[in-house]
Amino acid sequence: MSNPPRLPDTFNRLAWSNLAAQSAEQIALAAAPIVAVLTLGVAEGQTGLLQTALTLPFVLFAIPAGLLADRISRRALMAGAEALRAAALAAIVLLLALGALNLPLLALLGFAAVCGTVVYSVAAPALVPSLVSSDLLPAANARIELARTIAFASGPALGGALVGWWGASLAFGFAAALSAIAVVLLSGIYEPARTPAPRRHPFQDIREGAAFVFHHPLLRPVFITQFIFNTGWFLQIAVFVPYAVRHLGLTAAGVGTVLTMYGVGMVIGALLATRVMQRVAFGTVVGLGPVTGFAASLVMALTVLVPSPWLAALSFFLLGVGPILWVISTTTLRQSVTPPRLLGRVSAINIMSYGARPLGSALGAIVGGLWSAEACLYLAAAVFGMQALVILLSPAASLDRQPDMVGDEVAVRC
């Protein structure tokens, strides 16, 4: 068995900063609604408004973040974003100490902290290709996703535990310290100089990035697949908890255990990703995620006929394993076929596919309200089938190997 590839030290600093930044985000996101309910005494409707404030930056600032990432130093942009997050979280700690925190201030500072998340999420994939060689991109992206997965799996539990054991101040203070550590790590990264971008109207830059994605024979089906996947995923997750309690007979602890299998699958998928991509055709790996997602949705739909918690757990495990391979392989694909000057904007457009998430949740609310949760699971399986079909019929699924890296001379159709 071959040894795992050795990644450059400068990239390893980015990977560690990513772990710190993602952990800070997950701890703070878990702590915010707990503090809102237990400390500020807000009701369910108001916590919904808080969650809206914590997700809105992805819609509002992904594209502006992409523009900045293509115009200025990506390392400096990420460090600034993390510094903003650290300052916002530290301000929450200060307001808690003064007894002056209220829901509008919590929402405002949480909004600012998530703005840091958006900038980091857009700029990091654009920075990676300048830190590692083309053949190391899959291993580098796997390392980035493993850090994100660990934070995703452990951050909410850690945030809740910190609030419960030692109070909200320590939870937000710990998250702020992690963001500060990320800033320090980012400051030590050497980023190669890029050719300065021409000064143009921002809408011209946005149009250029969007035209590249939606005219590219490989990136267009990837975006469409991801948009449909997010719709199906949030359609299913919107009804799972009441469905699991009513139909599968799960307790709160049982629901939590089943949902945990998603994180377990993500960790295993991220650990295996580099070896899988060394042994399997690149296009096959790209197709694995959507196909596994479709299989997972069929397993979940099967629980309507066979109400087994084990089948539900298997479904969530498959939804973790397959899509993490999708994220790693398609990120590598984008980095390979996108000119360096466009990487920030193309990364931002990819983030915009998250806009399908509220669409899926809304579908769940409508279909579940008019018919049943079971109907939602059947519809989710159909949606997952659509996204698998889109990618399997695309040229991306037939790639034998990772495409060669392109340069800035590649033309863009507008």
- Two structure tokens written together for 33: 């609604």
Map tokens 């863009």 to a residue.
412
The residue behind tokens 């949705």 is: 297
Look at residue 1 in the predicted model and tell me its pLDDT.
44
How far is 149 from 153, CA to CA, in rounded Å?
6
Residue 183, burial from CB neighbour count under 10 angstroms (0-12, 13-18, 19+): buried
Phi/psi of residue 409, nearest 5 degrees: -80, -10
At 84, list the tokens: 């903003």
Tokens of 308: 């087994």
Q: pLDDT 10s per residue in the chain (414 long)? A: 455 568 888 899 999 999 999 889 888 877 887 777 777 776 555 655 676 677 778 778 888 998 899 888 999 999 999 999 999 999 999 998 888 888 888 889 988 998 988 899 899 999 999 999 888 999 999 989 888 888 877 776 777 777 777 777 888 899 999 999 999 999 989 888 777 767 777 888 888 999 999 999 999 999 999 999 999 998 888 788 888 888 999 886 788 788 778 888 988 998 898 889 989 999 999 999 999 999 999 999 999 999 999 999 999 999 999 889 999 999 999 999 999 989 999 999 988 887 777 788 788 888 888 898 899 999 999 999 999 999 999 999 999 999 988 876 655 555
Residue 279: per-residue pLDDT: 92
Q: Which two tokens stand for residue 143?
A: 């390392």
Return the amino acid letter for 196. P
Spatial CA neighbour of 122 closest among 64, 163, 164: 64
Q: Which domains does the chain have, with CATH numbers?
A: 1-191 (1.20.1250.20), 204-401 (1.20.1250.20)
